[in-house]
Structure 1
Amino acid sequence: MLKKIKLTEDWASVVVGIALIIAVVATSFFPELPKFGPKTGWTGWTVLSAEVFTTGNTLRLGMTFLYFLFFALAGTWMMGKRGKELITAFPVVFILSMLAQLIASSGSMKNLGLETVLFSLLIGLFISNVLSTPAWLKAGIQSEFYIKIGLVMLGTTILFSEIMKAGLFGVLQAVIVVVSVWYFAFWIARKLKVDEELGIMLASAVSICGVSAAIATAGAIKGDSKKLSYVISLVLVVAIPMMIFMPLIARWIGLSDEVTGAWLGGSIDTTGAVVAGGTIAGDTALKFSTIIKFSQNVLLGVAAFLISIFWTYRQAEKNGTDEKPTLGVIWERFPKFVLGFIAASLVFSFMIDGETAVNAGKTIKSYQSLWFNLAFVCIGLETRFKDLVTLDKGRPLYAFLIAQGFNIIITLIVAYILFGIFW
């Protein structure tokens, strides 16, 4: 009799993520996600009743629920866990994520550029802190697993052809900004006596690509989900004034559209806020901001790999071990879901024709976003808001704001030199 295979959470997320990607690209076995109104957002009951609360949309909602439950259960089975708790908790988490999507799809929220993950987190935090999360719901929460599945699928949106549209300058800016800002952010966090685990998450979020980078870093160092929730909250909140005021400042000081776009794309931490800020600045700025943002996103896999190695050596040093970690130890700590992310990116960049990659990528992107929404509902349900507010007496907040200020300045300088002088 064959022994049952028990995968780690990382490997299970790779299998599920790749399976979902294949289902979209190679088969027609995937449901259409429910709709939440027009692209500009719903503005009243008339729109909701006509486009959201319909029989067809209810069927799409039911099919989506069953589809995601199936893959969540498949991953749970592969990890050798019981599915009973998941079956009980998943419907609640799914409904809450749909509520977050509905709120984020309103016209007012879209105008502010607020993303669904923020409302997913807030809804979870409200239940956890005001109503109290019941034990049976906590037992079925799998926030990290959902996050890792989403990250594997995120790889399909990182296309190298898009990166190269900005040419050498775009890639060069991304490398300079990511390296310099990451080092400064980590340094200032240590100066303010923020613990290293949180400091690394902060540094990655500020320097690379916000939420996704914080998630990948937490996976690479096996970080605390409460600290991850804190970092993501900071990223999403601080991005709002940046996307509103930076385009206005760029216009006031007379920056060209190319420099403005490179500045926005290199310093604003969330893709949604980058698009919103670029839209305010104009079509050319939007194009450049999006490409520069993609240029930084593509460094996510490389950064996660280097961070996992750095953290392994750091832990050995902290434990007073002179012996350098072996390749085996580094491999053990390495976040395997990053391999899925890189594989998906390479396949969609070089092995699939452009039209297929674009069309399938839209569906995969929506699926990836839903996994993230599920994850942040779970994180909120597990987190006490009091812990976030009082964390380290506000030192992480100061570290984040100082690092973000440095990010804004250094990115402006680099963008001006590359796209204002040499472009």
Structure 2
Amino acid sequence: MASEAKTVRSPLLQTEDWWAVWIGLFIVFLGLLKLGNLDVIGWAVKTNMWLDLSRALAPVSDVYKGVPGIVSLILTYTFLTAVLSIAVASMGGNVRRFAAGFTIIFFITYFCWMLGNYAFIAATPDQMAKLKLPWSLRMTGESGFIIALIAGLIIGNFFPGLTRYLQDATKPEWFVKTAIVILGAQIGLNALQSTGLTTQVVLRGLFAIIEAYLIYWPLVYFIARKYFKFTPEWAVPLASGISICGVSAAIATGGAIKARPVIPVIVSSLVVIFAVVELIILPFAAQAWLYREPMVAGAWMGLAVKTDGAAAASGAMVDALIRSKALSALGVKWQEGWMLMATTTVKVFIDIFIAIWAFILAIIWSWKIDRREGEQVNAGEIWLRLPKFVLGYAGLFVLVILLGVALKGTPGIKLLNAGIGQAGNFRGIFFALTFFTIGLMSNFKKLWEEGMGKLAAVYILSLFGFIIWIGLIISWLFFHGITPPTVG
């Protein structure tokens, strides 16, 4: 009977790829009910930057501000467990083992996420002043991803019994695909907001990232293949992770060429680690070298820092640092937010191109790389290679753009922002779950045998050898001479 049931189940309900689409769409749909003044997921937990632990957790919506943070956390856990368990059952998995493992994974992950938002770890210089902190590691809330990764690595390498117990719920690729689908809605919102910005900054940002794609990716791919002897299965996600947009690009393009799931996941862990290193170094380098060219500095952060959160944080840091330096060194007081706008504009276009790049690689790999002699390649083969979650990402991007255009100039635009923000809160949770489970899967001995050391070497050589500097040159070419409006 079980096998008979399996044969009639729709292919759209049998894979993690498709379930990432359905879950992402479902969560965004619940958020969009805000347009009808229905606050359906406002109870979901968000993590604030905190000094007092009692203020770390809160519901994402003010409508539920009377709900204690711990209750919000339990509601979020219950909701995710139920939704994911339905998917596991549909895919023929063991729901009981999944739910038991996911319970442990969720609460360990969320503790790591909370710890990463501790002010002395996360606060950037502009936030330190507001919180009156004498010092901070300045790693932003994304340090929670690193802490989750480290916790997963410890369990995965030193507690094999627990690792085996959690195996049925250790699904980093599924978690990150779901997060990327939800990300499509946020990127649509960001792109929508960019339409009101200075036209030349938006256009220059678009041209800058096209040049970056055409230079970064082939260079990293060539180095990985020619000098480090990586196979295309490793070189493609690595080139995408280093040169485009980190985690999202590595997962999407890895799926397009049918790489083993563990490969883009391993690349993703390197992306986040090096993004934190860039965040610590690059804003201060920009303050020292580019305080006379503020928009160059902002665009540079968007082209060089490889995760959305770290890029935005670096843009905010550059905005604060350079405005302060310009006031003291040049006697000029620039309007706040323009450098950050350059960063986010460039980053939005980079994110938009992820789906396009995955589609291009799916075609190339079908027609050229994996094609056998005499074999005819049809649209069906390209469809099989195309990561289905990218369709969810692109679909939500377009949907939010259309909704935004329809609601422009009405009170509904604020409700759209709020609804997408509530859905985006789940995106952060899925990303955190991704990095904890990446750690669980990452056995150091096996990783070393797979070439983790060489991966890191390619990353260091590419990032610090030419990507940062090419990004700086491109930023200079497109944004040189543009300055923010002055205040007063």
What TM-score comes out, normalization by structure 2 length? 0.79
SS at match of 1:245: helix
Shift of 1:31: 4.9
Name whichever of 344-353 and 221-230 sits farther off.
221-230
Q: Does 1:410 align with 2:418?
A: no
Shift of 1:105: 1.0
- Matching residue of 1:175: 210
Instruction: Tell me the alpha carbon deviations over residues 323-356 of structure 1, each in whole angstroms, 9 at most, x when there is no partner.
Output: 2422111111111111111010001112243323
Instruction: Tell me the alpha carbon deviations over residues 247-272 of structure 1, each in whole angstroms, 9 at most, x when there is no partner.
Output: 33333334511111011111111122
Shift of 1:81: 3.1
Q: Which ranges of 4 or more aligned residues in structure 1 deviate by more than 4 Å?
A: 50-55
CA–CA distance in 1 between the matches of 2:435 and 2:260?
14
Superposition pairs of residues 180-329 of structure 1, within 5 angstroms: 180-191=215-226, 192-254=228-290, 255-282=292-319, 283-317=337-371, 320-329=372-381
CA–CA distance in 2 between the matches of 1:378 and 1:9?
15
Q: Give structure 2 stretches of 5+ with no counterpart.
A: 59-65, 123-137, 320-336, 408-412, 484-488
Q: Does 1:142 align with 2:171?
A: yes
Query: Contact 1:5–1:78 (CA<8 Å) still a contact in 2?
Result: no
Which of 154, 159, 170 pairs up with 1:131?
159
- Matching residue of 2:53: 48
- Residues 36 and 332 of structure 1: CA distance in aligned 2, closer, same or farther (over 3 Å): closer
Identical counterparts, % of pairs: 26
CA–CA distance in 2 between the matches of 1:246 and 1:138?
38
Query: Contact 1:31–1:60 (CA<8 Å) still a contact in 2?
Result: no
CA–CA distance in 2 between the matches of 1:338 and 1:245?
32
- Residues 122 and 228 of structure 1: CA distance in aligned 2, closer, same or farther (over 3 Å): farther
Query: Contact 1:239–1:268 (CA<8 Å) still a contact in 2?
Result: yes
Which of 81, 88, 91 pairs up with 1:76?
88
- Residues 226 and 334 of structure 1: CA distance in aligned 2, closer, same or farther (over 3 Å): closer
SS at match of 1:210: helix
CA–CA distance in 2 between the matches of 1:226 and 1:335?
15
Which of 374, 382, 387 pairs up with 1:335?
387
Which of 101, 105, 120 pairs up with 2:148?
120
Name whichever of 123-132 and 162-171 sits farther off.
162-171
- Matching residue of 1:373: 432
Which of 28, 50, 59 pairs up with 2:39?
28
SS at match of 2:480: helix
CA–CA distance in 2 between the matches of 1:161 and 1:28?
23
CA–CA distance in 2 between the matches of 1:51 and 1:402?
39
Aligned residues: 415
- Matching residue of 2:327: none
- Matching residue of 1:18: 25
Shift of 1:409: 1.6
SS at match of 1:194: coil
Shift of 1:215: 2.1
Which of 96, 99, 103 pairs up with 2:108?
96
Shift of 1:175: 1.0
SS at match of 1:298: helix
Amino acid corresponding to residue 346 of structure 1 in structure 2: V
Which of 396, 415, 420 pairs up with 1:344?
396
Shift of 1:390: 5.2
Shift of 1:20: 1.3
Shift of 1:84: 2.2
CA–CA distance in 1 between the matches of 2:470 and 2:374?
37
Amino acid corresponding to residue 49 of structure 1 in structure 2: S
Which of 150, 155, 166 pairs up with 2:184?
155
Shift of 1:315: 4.5
CA RMSD of aligned residues (A): 2.5
Give 1 or 2 for the bigger CA radius of gyration.
2
- Residues 259 and 22 of structure 1: CA distance in aligned 2, closer, same or farther (over 3 Å): same
Q: Give structure 1 stretches of 5+ with no counterpart.
A: none
Shift of 1:299: 0.8
